[in-house]
């Protein structure tokens, strides 16, 4: 009975696997190039967008779209579909291009390979990553002996290229947002269809026109420069770069490149540093003022990055038990902004303030400062409730106290004279 149950479970599992749809083709844009000399003798390149199909199958398969250029990808150790698992076809952007080896001819070291090859690159983009694969089209035609882009062979509209994937480079993080001071991993993986002793992996940082090499490793010589990539993971095709502490100066473009002669592939990964502002008010949750009294109210947004921030002050209705039908808060217009201030860690600070001159009708109103920044999903809000009192009661009390103090002072000064006069009046004449 147990054996029968295991067989049934195995059958169901196999049926489930077979029912999983596997991507068999993708519509693509083939961006062809026409290189020519202009009237001034300079080289120009005209880009021509053509309809193409990326089709997965076996040699001799019928094209899915016979009116398009077909790149038939046959079986090899590398399968592009493995790198886009879970992504729907309509979420993919497919682009095919010729690949120039700049006149360099190297026989690709795989069993049964032709002496010569024509190369194409296939880039698949989606919301969660970029994959670039190199397609090898074997040919018996030797290279022309010059840079290949100057003498591209013509490609007919319905031509079929039976190719295989020989090299893949992938990133799952083409754009990274990092909080200041955090550790970040910039993803980069690669794979080659054969074991080769000559793979060069490099990471380069580019910012404002300057390029700095962060890491490089050559598998043939074993030479290593820089840090950030683990050699154990690199041996398995994982070239992920580890940034231990994200600073403002870390922001820029990181380039992961892999070279296997005559192929060179690179991926750009942009790193954006963010830091949320710290928001505070110069008053407490409640503010007590007398009618006619002035108060400078400041909303401070401190230590944020990048620069752009928006600060808005709102004046709400008087707080009451009514919630339905209550008027909406209105934006205050008389707001003044300070200049941006720079901190030592290159973050920014900004103040938005106004002068509050309340009347009795403003008592109970809620004032709210709202700060928006790209590092925040929702704005940060800080509020206070205003209470306004009549100045007359205070003035009357102050006046009465002042008069009493004056009377007591006068009485204190006059008391010795009164006592002296009384003694004089009590003396009897001789």
Q: Establish whether domains 172-274 and 278-391 are of one fold.
A: yes
**What is the DSSP annotation of 154-188?**
P--TT-EEEEEEEEEEEES-SEEEEETT--EEE--
Q: Residue 417: which H helix or E strand, with range?
A: helix 391-426
Closest CA to 64 of 26, 23, 98: 26
Q: What is the pLDDT of residue 325?
A: 56
Asked whether residue 11 carries a pLDDT value surpassing 50, the answer given is no
- Flag whether pLDDT at 306 surpasses 90: yes
pLDDT at 102: 80
Architecture of domain 22-171: Sandwich (2.60)
| H/E element, 422 | helix 391-426
Q: What are the distances in angstroms from CA 236 to CA 130, 132, 188, 216?
A: 19, 18, 12, 16
Average pLDDT rounded to a whole number, residues 160-177? 94
> Which uninterrupted H or E stretch holds 13?
helix 2-19
> Cβ(124)–Cβ(28) under 8 Å?
no
In 3-state terms, what secondary structure has residue 17? helix
The more confidently predicted of residues 427 and 170 is 170
CA angle 22, 24, 27 (to 5 degrees): 130
DSSP 8-state assignment for residue 378: S
What Cα–Cα distance (Å) separates residue 248 from each residue in 26, 42, 178, 272, 310? 41, 41, 10, 9, 21
Residue 272's Cβ-side half-sphere holds a number of Cα atoms within 13 Å equal to 11
Give CATH superfamily name and number for 172-274: Immunoglobulins (2.60.40.10)
Q: Is the pLDDT of residue 364 over 60?
A: yes
**pLDDT > 70: percent of the chain:** 87
Query: Where is pLDDT greater, at 130 or 360?
Result: 130
Question: Contact at 8 Å (CB) between 215 and 239?
Answer: no
Q: How many C-beta atoms lie closer than 10 Å to residue 30's C-beta? A: 22
What is the DSSP annotation of 293-321?
Answer: --EEEEEEEEEEBSS-EEEEEEEEEEP-S
Whether the pLDDT of residue 144 is over 70: the answer is: no
Mean pLDDT on 270-298? 93
Cβ atoms of residues 133 and 78 within 8 Å: yes
Q: How wide is the angle at C-alpha 95 spanned by C-alphas 115 and 65, nearest 5°?
A: 85
pLDDT of residue 17: 32
**Closest Cα to residue 158, out of 243, 271, 42, 66?**
66
Each residue of 37-70: pLDDT tens digit? 888 888 888 899 999 999 999 999 999 999 999 9
Triad 91, 48, 265: Cα angle to 5°: 60
pLDDT at 42: 86
Whole-number Å distance between alpha carbons of 342 and 307: 10
**Mean pLDDT value across residues 331-336:** 92
Highest mean pLDDT among 23-27, 153-157, 186-190: 186-190
Domain range list for the chain: 22-171, 172-274, 278-391
pLDDT beyond 60 at 14: no
294 phi and psi angles, rounded to 5 deg: -95, 150
Q: Classify domain 278-391 by CATH architecture.
A: Sandwich (2.60)
CB neighbours of 419 closer than 8 A, spacing ≥ 6? none
Confidence of residue 324 (pLDDT cuts 50, 70, 90): low
The whole-angstrom separation of Cα 302 and Cα 276 is 9
Q: In angstroms, rounded to a whole number, what is the distance separating the alpha carbons of residues 401 and 289?
A: 22
Whether residue 296 contacts residue 281, with contact meaning beta carbons closer than 8 Å, is answered with: no
| Residues in Cβ contact with 114 at an 8 Å cutoff, skipping those fewer than 6 apart | 138, 139, 140
């Amino acid at each position: 009975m147990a054996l029968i149950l295991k067989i049934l479970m195995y059958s169901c599992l196999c049926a489930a696997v077979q029912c999983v749809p596997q991507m068999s083709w993708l519509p693509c844009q083939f961006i062809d190039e026409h290189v020519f000399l202009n009237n001034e003798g300079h080289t120009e390149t005209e880009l021509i967008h053509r309809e193409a199909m990326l089709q997965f199958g076996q040699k001799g398969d019928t094209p899915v779209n016979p009116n398009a250029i077909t790149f038939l990808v046959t079986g090899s150790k590398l399968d592009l579909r493995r790198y886009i698992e879970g992504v729907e076809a309509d979420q993919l952007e497919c682009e095919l291009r010729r690949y120039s080896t700049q006149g360099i001819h190297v026989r690709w070291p795989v069993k049964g390979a032709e002496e010569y090859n024509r190369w194409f690159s296939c880039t698949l983009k989606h919301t969660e990553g970029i994959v670039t694969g190199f397609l090898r089209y074997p040919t018996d035609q030797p290279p022309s002996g010059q840079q290949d882009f100057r003498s591209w062979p013509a490609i007919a509209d319905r031509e079929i290229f039976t190719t295989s994937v020989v090299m893949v480079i992938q990133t799952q993080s083409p754009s990274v947002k990092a909080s200041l001071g955090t550790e970040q991993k910039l993803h980069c993986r690669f794979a080659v269809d054969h074991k080769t002793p000559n793979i060069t992996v490099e990471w380069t940082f580019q910012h404002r026109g300057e390029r700095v090499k962060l890491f490089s490793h050559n598998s043939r010589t074993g030479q290593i420069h820089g840090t950030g990539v683990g050699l154990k993971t690199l041996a398995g095709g994982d070239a992920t770069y580890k940034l231990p502490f994200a600073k403002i100066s870390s922001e820029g473009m990181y380039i992961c490149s892999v070279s296997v002669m005559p192929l060179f592939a690179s991926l750009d990964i942009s790193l954006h540093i963010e830091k949320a502002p710290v928001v505070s008010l110069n008053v407490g949750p409640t503010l007590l003022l007398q009618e006619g009294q002035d108060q400078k109210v400041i909303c401070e947004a401190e230590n944020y990055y990048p620069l752009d921030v928006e600060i808005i002050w709102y004046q709400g209705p008087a707080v009451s038990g009514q919630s339905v039908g209550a008027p909406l808060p209105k934006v205050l217009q008389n707001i003044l902004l300070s200049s941006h201030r720079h901190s030592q860690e290159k973050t920014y600070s900004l103040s938005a303030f106004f002068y509050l001159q309340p009347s009795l009708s403003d008592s109970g109103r809620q004032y709210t400062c709202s700060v928006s920044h790209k590092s925040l999903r929702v704005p940060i809000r800080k509020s206070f409730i205003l209470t306004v009192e009549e100045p007359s009661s205070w003035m009357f009390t102050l006046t009465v106290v002042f008069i009493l103090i004056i009377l007591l002072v006068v009485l204190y000064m006059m008391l010795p004279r009164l006592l002296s006069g009384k003694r004089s009046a009590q003396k009897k004449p001789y």
